[in-house]
Amino acid sequence: MMKIRVENPNNLKKKTAMLCGFVLENSDKILGLENMNSRIIPSIKQSINDMGGEFGKISVIPTIGTSAQRILLAGLGKREKLTNDTIRFVSGKIAQKARELKLKEFSIIVPPTSLIEPISSVSQIVEGCKMSLYKFEKYKTKIENNIPNLTILVAKSEKISKAIRIAEIISDGVVYTKSIANLPPNECIPTTLANFARIVSKKNNMKCIIISKSDLNKKGFGGIIAVGQGSKNEPKLIILEHNHGSRNEKPIVLVGKAVTFDTGGISLKPGEKMDEMKFDKCGGCTVMGIMKVVSELKLPVNVVGIIPSVENMPGGESYRPGDIIKLYCGKTAEILNTDAEGRLILADALSYGEKQYSPKVIIDFATLTGACIIALGTNIAGMVSNNDKLVQTIIKSSKRTTEEVWELPLNDDYIDMIKSDVADMKNVGIGRAAGTITAAAFLRNAIKNTPWVHIDIAGVAWTQTGTKEKPYNPKGATGFGVRLILDYLQNI
C-alpha cells in the first residue's frame, strides 16, 4: 500500500529519491517551482528545454549537489489542451517510473493555483499514482512487489488533507473493483461475490442481505432463476445497504450485472475471446466497489447496491430458446436467445429495487451488449434513460471524472421492438438493429416511473482492442463507473 504525505513546497531541502515536476509544452519551467529560490532550476534549465513538455513524456535527470537524487520532468502537453484527466494520467506515468526504478519514495510538486486548482491537482495525483500501481498478479507465483511512497509538495491545509484522504479511498475502491473483476471464473462464482459483499459490509457497517436460490425461486425471481439454472454454481442476489442519510429520505439504488461467466448458454457463444466473458461480472463489481467507498467515506446519503449474480452455462438443466418465463415485475418474457441473459437478471433486480426501496433514482451498470461496442467503441459507455434531468447530472459527473458516457435514445418505437407474439416481451430485438437500445427497452419495462439510468459498459469495463492506453488502466478490468458515481453521490 502506497503511503502518502504532504510537505510544504518551500521545504525542498528535504531529501528525496526523485523530485518530480510537471512541464507544459515548449516551456522552460517546472510548474510550481518557478518562484522558489531553488538551485535546481538553473542547473537543469537546458534539460527542461530539451524535453519539450510533450504530453505523457517522462524524462529522468540525474543530479549533483541537490537534495533530490534525481529530477523527473513530466510533460503535460499544451496548456489549452489540459483536461480533468491530464494530471491523473501523467501522475500515473510518474508512479510507474518510480516503481520501475525501484525507488522507496518520490515527490511530486503540485502545479500553481493559476493553472489548476490545487484540490483538483492533488486528487488527480493521488488517483493517478494509486490506480497505476495496481497489477493483477494474484496468480503469479513470483512477484516483485515494490510500491513506492509518495510525498506531495503543496501548501499544507485541512482541505488538502481531506482531498487526499477522499482520493485515496476512491482509488482503493477502483482497485478493489478491478481486483475482484479480474478474478478467473473458476475462482469467482456467485457465492464468492456474496462472500466478498459480506466482508465489505462487516468492515464498514453496512447491512448485507444474500438471497439464495430457494428463496429466489419462492419470491418469483424468474429471470435470475432461469439464467442460473444451467450451472451447478447457484445464483445469488446480493444486497448492500448504506443508510447514512436522513431516515425518511428515499435511497439511491445501484444495480450491477454480475454474470461470473457468460458462455451464452444453449445459444452458445463462439470460442474466440470467450475467456473475456469472465468480465461479464464487471457491473456488479463496480457496484460493490462503489458501496465500499460510500461506506468508508460515510457519505450522508442512503444508497442501496443490488447485484444479481449467476453463471450462464449450457447443460441439461439450462433454460432454452422458446422458454417463457415470469419475471419479478410480473411480466412474462419469451426467451429467443439464452445469450441475452443480462437483461433477464437485471430486470428482476431493477423491479425488486423499485418495489422494495421506492428509490428516488436507479442507476444500473452492465456489460450488456456487444452492440454497444459497435455503436460507441471501447472508450465511451452507452447510456439509456427515462429521465433527462438525471442524464444531465450524470453527464456532468462524466465530464469531471473523464469516465465517458454517451446517451442513446429510447422512445416507444424501441419498446415495440421487443414485443412478443406469445408473451409480454421477448429477450431480443429485431435482428441486430439498435441492440443496445432494445436491451435497455427490456429493462425499461421492468420498472414503473422511477428516474433511471442504464449504463452499458460492454466496451469500457476491461481493456480490449481499441482501448486508449492509460497508465491507470493496465491490462484487465478498469473499474469503470466507480469514480463516476462517487462524483455523482458527492454532488447531490
Positions that interact with Mn ion (CB under 5 A): 262, 339, 341
Question: Taking the complex as a whole, how short is the minimal distance between the CB of residue 276 and Zn ion, in angstroms?
Answer: 11
Question: Which residue, 17 or 437, is less far from ligand BES as judged by CB?
Answer: 437
Question: Taking a C-beta distance cutoff of 8 angstroms, is the pair 54, 25 a contact?
Answer: yes
Select from Zn ion, ligand BES, Mn ion, none the partner in contact with residue 458, using the beta carbon and a kind-dependent cut-off of 5 to 8 Å.
ligand BES
Let me know if 250 is a catalytic residue. Answer: no
Question: Which residue, 212 or 464, is less far from ligand BES as judged by CB?
Answer: 464
Question: Which residue, 166 or 258, is less far from ligand BES as judged by CB?
Answer: 258
Position among 85, 241, 341, 403 found at the interface with ligand BES (CB under 6 A):
341
Question: Taking the complex as a whole, how short is the minimal distance between the CB of residue 346 and Zn ion, in angstroms?
Answer: 10
Q: Does 321 bind ligand BES (CB under 6 A)?
A: no
DSSP H or E segment with residue 486: helix 482-490
Pairing of strands 452-456, 381-385: antiparallel
What Å distances lie between residue 169 and 121, 163, 245, CA to CA? Answer: 16, 10, 20
Which of 269, 331, 360, 419 does the annotation list as catalytic?
A: 269
In DSSP notation, 180-226 reads HHTS-TTT--HHHHHHHHHHHHHHTT-EEEEE-HHHHHHHT-HHHHH
3-state DSSP assignment of residue 449: coil
Question: Which residue, 88 or 343, is less far from ligand BES as judged by CB?
Answer: 343
Q: Is 190 left (phi over 0), alpha (psi -120 to 50) or beta?
A: alpha
Select from Zn ion, ligand BES, Mn ion, none the partner in contact with residue 428, using the beta carbon and a kind-dependent cut-off of 5 to 8 Å.
ligand BES
3-state DSSP assignment of residue 16: strand
Work out the angle between the directed axes of helices 282-296 and 482-490 (0-180°, nearest 10). Answer: 40
Question: Taking a C-beta distance cutoff of 8 angstroms, is the pair 22, 87 a contact?
Answer: yes
Site for ligand BES in 443-462 (CB under 6 A): 458
Distance (Å, whole) CA 441 – CA 438: 5
Select from ligand BES, Mn ion, Zn ion, none the partner in contact with residue 351, using the beta carbon and a kind-dependent cut-off of 5 to 8 Å.
none
Question: Taking the complex as a whole, how short is the minimal distance between the CB of residue 215 and Zn ion, in angstroms?
Answer: 24
* Site track 265-284 with Zn ion (rule: CB under 5 A), x = hit: ---------------x----
Distance (Å, whole) CA 145 – CA 474: 16
Question: Which residue, 339 or 354, is less far from Mn ion as judged by CB?
Answer: 339
Distance (Å, whole) CA 259 – CA 454: 17
Question: Taking the complex as a whole, how short is the minimal distance between the CB of residue 435 and ligand BES, in angstroms?
Answer: 6
Let me know if 269 is a catalytic residue. Answer: yes
Position among 32, 190, 228, 342 found at the interface with ligand BES (CB under 6 A):
342
Question: Which residue, 85 or 341, is less far from Mn ion as judged by CB?
Answer: 341
Distance (Å, whole) CA 430 – CA 372: 16
Question: Taking a C-beta distance cutoff of 8 angstroms, is the pair 204, 296 a contact?
Answer: yes
Question: Which residue, 259 or 405, is less far from Zn ion as judged by CB?
Answer: 259
Question: Which residue, 311 or 404, is less far from Mn ion as judged by CB?
Answer: 311
Question: Taking the complex as a whole, how short is the minimal distance between the CB of residue 346 and ligand BES, in angstroms?
Answer: 10
Torsion of CA 368, 374, 376, 381, to 10 degrees: 10
Distance (Å, whole) CA 118 – CA 113: 6
Which of 93, 99, 257, 343 does the annotation list as catalytic?
A: 343
Cell of 219: 419470491
Position among 342, 435, 479, 481 found at the interface with Zn ion (CB under 5 A):
342
Interacting span for ligand BES (CB under 6 A) from 85-93, 209-217, 243-251, 362-370: 362-370
Q: Cell 427515462: give the residue.
A: 386
Question: Taking the complex as a whole, how short is the minimal distance between the CB of residue 265 and Mn ion, in angstroms?
Answer: 8
Question: Taking the complex as a whole, how short is the minimal distance between the CB of residue 367 and ligand BES, in angstroms?
Answer: 4
Position among 241, 262, 296, 348 found at the interface with ligand BES (CB under 6 A):
262
Nearest by Cα to 104 from 128, 75, 69, 140: 69
Neighbours of 208 (CB within 10 A): 17
Q: Does 339 bind ligand BES (CB under 6 A)?
A: yes
DSSP H or E segment with residue 369: none
Q: Does 262 bind Zn ion (CB under 5 A)?
A: yes
Q: Does 370 bind ligand BES (CB under 6 A)?
A: yes
Distance (Å, whole) CA 347 – CA 351: 6
What residues line the site for Zn ion (CB under 5 A)?
Answer: 259, 262, 280, 342
What residues line the site for ligand BES (CB under 6 A)?
Answer: 262, 280, 337, 339-342, 367-371, 428, 435, 458
